[in-house]
Structure 1
Amino acid sequence: MTYNILIISLLTFLIHFVGTIAYAVRIVGIRTGKNAISWAMFNIISLFARVATTFQAPLLAKTIENNIHLGKVNDVSDFRIIIFAATLATCVGAFAIPTAHRFLQKGVESLYHHQSMTKVIWKIFRLKTFFHFWKSLTWPKLSNLSFFLKYRDIPLKIMFLQAIVNAVLTVSVLSCLYAGYLNPSLRSTTASMTGVANSVAVILSLVFLDPNMAILTDRVLAGKKTQAYFRKYFVFVVFSRLIGTILGQLLLIPIAHFVIYIAENLYV
């Protein structure tokens, strides 16, 4: 593993870890009743992860160029390592959600009180915040695993769709860059498509993932669904995100070939 791949893997880990614990803000919205503020904080945290994704492309593109110059072509191992980092981050993030939910609840309350995200960010660097984080540390309850035995009222089609969308989110940029390995003559074209691929992945997330969670949150707040059901649904959402990163290993090369097809037929 080269130094660049290590940095990219760490960056990928951070992106998917932040993306996973961001779901904890949804729980905070239910617990506090401050759904709009929680939604705003969720968007800020998610935006951080999505912006960080843009740093993947130039670092990985440079590694690809170096490998091609060295005669290494179609080397998929580096990409497998990066996707594995996403899977590992999702697992770690899932275990960190209870801690994140307790810690972020204080942030939502602070944002509601101060009415300024800038003040909330400044408070993060206080020693008091560190002690609050320490007190928030907790492990997930093993009883949550029993939810997998009670899946009959869970919309499995939606969970499957979420897994597919998360798989595309995981490998959209990576597939564009790997296409440069498969067809070096189109390397510049496929690399330029990373922005488009990332935008498409974000749009899929906004269209197919976020509305379902938002609707369920409003139903819980309206008393049409219980918090127990929300927690169960939430467990399946995180699990589908994990499955999506694993499916990314399978979709990496097919999407790369699709990118090459587009580059050959549309960019003339």
Structure 2
Amino acid sequence: MSRLLLVAVLTAVIHMINTLIYSVRLAGVRTKRLATALSLFQVIFLVASTANLIQAPLMSAIVEHAINAGLAHAGGGNVLDDPYYRAQLARLNADIRLVILAATAGTLLGGLLIPTFVRLFTRGIFLLEEIGSVPRMILRVFLSPRYLAAIARQVELPSIGRFRDALRRPLAIPVNFLVANVLITGIWTTGVLSALYAGALIPQYRSTATLTSGIVNGVAAVLAATVVDPTAAMITDQAMRGARPEEDVKQMAVYLALTRLAGTLLAQLFFVPGALIIRFVAELIT
């Protein structure tokens, strides 16, 4: 259980940080320094990358433990007909759904923290411009009580009320762009998890099934690169040029966070069908 809890926490952190990217665009528009804002975010994104490096093998180990326990109990028979292994699959199903729920929780927290991170990034951008070096900036922040106190003053408890204005305004961004974000997030959230579960459904070909996740995530990456990212960049650039109001970028950040949240919920529906499709593909190619 402790291993599963760690996987859930790391998943929440990954999705929280990936949601906070929306605050970077808004901070970049406000400061007219979008490139600096994106560069500064990469420092925080390293945390998500590190969490992912730890989370992936831990989740794989949970699945492998369930498979090996079932194979040992079956004693050379058809493991899929063994009631014990079916119980292992049911438990694994519940564990993976808990991990997906953690992704939803992390996305929700990241969305609620967007206003706070807009202020933090805005302050960080000007501080980086003053100091000229990310390592020196980090040292100054953590070694100076004055800077730590200034950062603490920027942090506020999450408040849904801050999003009301963005939601009340007439929608100024494309609807298909938001729908695509829901679908892409749903696919990306469950892609690896569905592949791992598919491996448990066909333990003799579990390596093939697991590696098939690259195809699933590749589809999501192509859709993100061709539909979501260019539209978000266009809206952000238009706001920086004055062709759009800053409020459009704020609205975009709010709606992207909401559609990302919806996508993690949709991942619960995608999970098992995705595993069955991956199992079919793995059996087809082996």
* Alignment of 1:159 onto 2:158: no
81-90 vs 19-28, which deviates more?
19-28
**Which of residues 128, 135, 150 is equivalent to 2:146?**
128
Q: Quote the sequence identity (%).
A: 30
**Deviation string for 1:6-60 (max 9, x for gaps)?**
0100000110111112221111101111111112233454454255334332111
Unaligned runs of 5+ in 1: none
Give the aligned partner of residue 77 of structure 2: none
How far residue 65 of structure 1 moved from its aligned partner, in angstroms, is: 1.6
- Aligned length, in residue pairs: 266
Larger gyration radius, structure 1 or structure 2 = 2
Unaligned runs of 5+ in 2: 71-87
Q: Distance in 2 between matches of 1:210 and 1:183?
A: 36
The structure with the greater share of residues assigned to helix is 2
Which deviates more, 257-266 or 167-176? 257-266
Partner Cα distance (1:38, 1:97) in 2: 14
Residues 256, 44 of structure 1: alpha-carbon distance in 2 compared, 3 angstrom cutoff: farther
- Residue 116 of structure 1 corresponds to which residue in structure 2? 133
Which residue number corresponds to residue 233 of structure 1? 252
Aligned to 1:73: 89
Counterpart residue number, 2:15: 16
- Cα distance in 2 for partners of 1:18, 1:223 equals 28
**Further displaced range: 44-53 or 92-101:** 44-53
Superposed displacement of residue 194, structure 1: 4.2
Contact 2:112–2:160 (Cα < 8 Å) also in 1: no
In the alignment, the residues of structure 1 paired with residue 11 and residue 178 of structure 2 have an alpha-carbon distance, to the nearest angstrom, of 23
Per-residue deviation, 1:236: 0.9
TM-score by length of 1: 0.89
Is the 2:11–2:52 contact (alpha carbons within 8 Å) kept by the matching residues of 1? yes
What is residue 96 of structure 1 aligned with on the other side? Answer: 113
**Does 2:99 align with 1:82?**
yes
The within-5 A match list for 1:1-268 is 2-46=1-45, 48-50=47-49, 52-71=51-70, 72-74=88-90, 75-126=92-143, 127-138=145-156, 139-140=158-159, 142=161, 144-195=163-214, 197-198=216-217, 200-266=219-285, 268=286
For residues 89-144 of structure 1, the C-alpha deviation after alignment (integer angstroms, 9 at most, x for no partner) is: 11111111111111121221122233323223333423334212210022446153
What is the identity, as a one-letter code, of the residue corresponding to 2:152?
Answer: W
Moved more, 119-128 or 155-164: 119-128
Q: TM-score, normalised by structure 2?
A: 0.84
C-alpha RMSD of the superposition? 2.2
Residue 203 of structure 1, CA deviation = 4.4
